Every structure is written in structure tokens, then in C-alpha cells.
């Protein structure tokens, strides 16, 4: 079975970042259709995306809604640092603090995931 992990680091402030996220979600959608094991993690400035994507008027909202069940979580430390912890909690997405209040990205490699950063 293919194991794919998408890690979103990109901030919300450029069209390039939106393009990366959009393409990442397309990878996720294809992985879901093929029954691959999939993890999506938001880290760093990428934590700011959750509040934006929860807005029904956001152009990526529909695609986000399709892949949302596969979002593993959001970096606890970074969500606090970027002031979006309450938005993440309101969205019902887990905060991850496996290694010093951050997700353990090393564990993804140990578990055999192919990691794509966005």
C-alpha cells in the first residue's frame, strides 16, 4: 500500500502558496480514490490555512471539505504561535504535539511514508 504524507508549511499570503495547497489537495484526492494511506499535517505558517479554508466562500473550501477527514492534525506549538489555535479547535481538527509541541515528522519516515512538503 502506498503511504503518502502531505505537510503544509506555506503561509496563506500568496497565490503561489494557494497553488501549492491546491495541488497538494489534488494529490490527496487521488490518494483517497486509490485507497492509499494518507496523512495531511499543517505545520508552521501553514497552520493559518485552517481558518481560511473553513470559510465556505474560500475558493479551495470544497476541495478542503473533501480531504478534511484525512487531515491528521495541526502543529500545536505553531497554532498557538500564529494565533490560530481556536480556529483549529473550532474546525474539529486535532492539535499535534508529539515532539516538543510539534508533530514528529521523523515518525512519518519511520512509518514508511513518502513525505511531500507544500
Extract the runs of DSSP E, i.e. beta strands, from 1-118: 3-8, 37-42, 71-75, 95-96, 114-117
Percent pLDDT > 70 in the chain is: 100
CATH class name, domain 3-117: alpha beta
**Residue 116: per-residue pLDDT:** 98
* pLDDT interval class at 110 (50, 70, 90): very high
**Residue 1: per-residue pLDDT:** 84
Tens-digit pLDDT profile for residues 17-32: 999 999 999 999 999 9
Three-state SS at 97: coil
**Residue 48: per-residue pLDDT:** 98
Taking the C-alpha atoms of residue 118 and residue 38, their distance in angstroms, rounded to an integer, is 15
- Indicate the DSSP class of residue 12: S
Residue listed under C-alpha cell 505545520: 43
Q: Are 45 and 84 in contact (CB under 8 A)?
A: no
* pLDDT interval class at 8 (50, 70, 90): very high
Taking the C-alpha atoms of residue 13 and residue 2, their distance in angstroms, rounded to an integer, is 32
pLDDT > 90? residue 100: yes
**Residue 44: per-residue pLDDT:** 97
Amino acid at each position: 500500500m502506498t503511504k503518502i504524507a502531505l505537510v503544509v508549511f506555506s503561509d496563506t499570503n500568496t497565490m503561489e502558496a494557494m497553488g501549492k495547497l491546491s495541488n497538494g489537495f489534488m494529490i490527496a484526492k487521488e490518494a483517497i480514490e486509490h485507497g492509499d494511506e494518507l496523512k495531511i499535517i499543517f505545520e508552521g505558517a501553514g497552520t493559518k490555512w485552517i481558518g481560511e479554508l473553513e470559510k465556505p466562500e474560500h475558493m479551495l473550501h470544497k476541495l478542503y471539505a473533501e480531504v478534511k477527514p484525512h487531515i491528521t492534525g495541526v502543529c500545536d506549538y505553531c497554532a498557538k504561535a500564529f494565533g490560530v489555535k481556536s480556529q483549529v479547535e473550532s474546525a474539529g481538527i486535532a492539535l499535534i504535539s508529539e515532539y516538543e509541541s510539534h508533530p514528529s515528522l521523523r515518525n512519518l519516515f519511520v512509518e514508511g511514508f513518502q513525505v511531500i512538503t507544500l
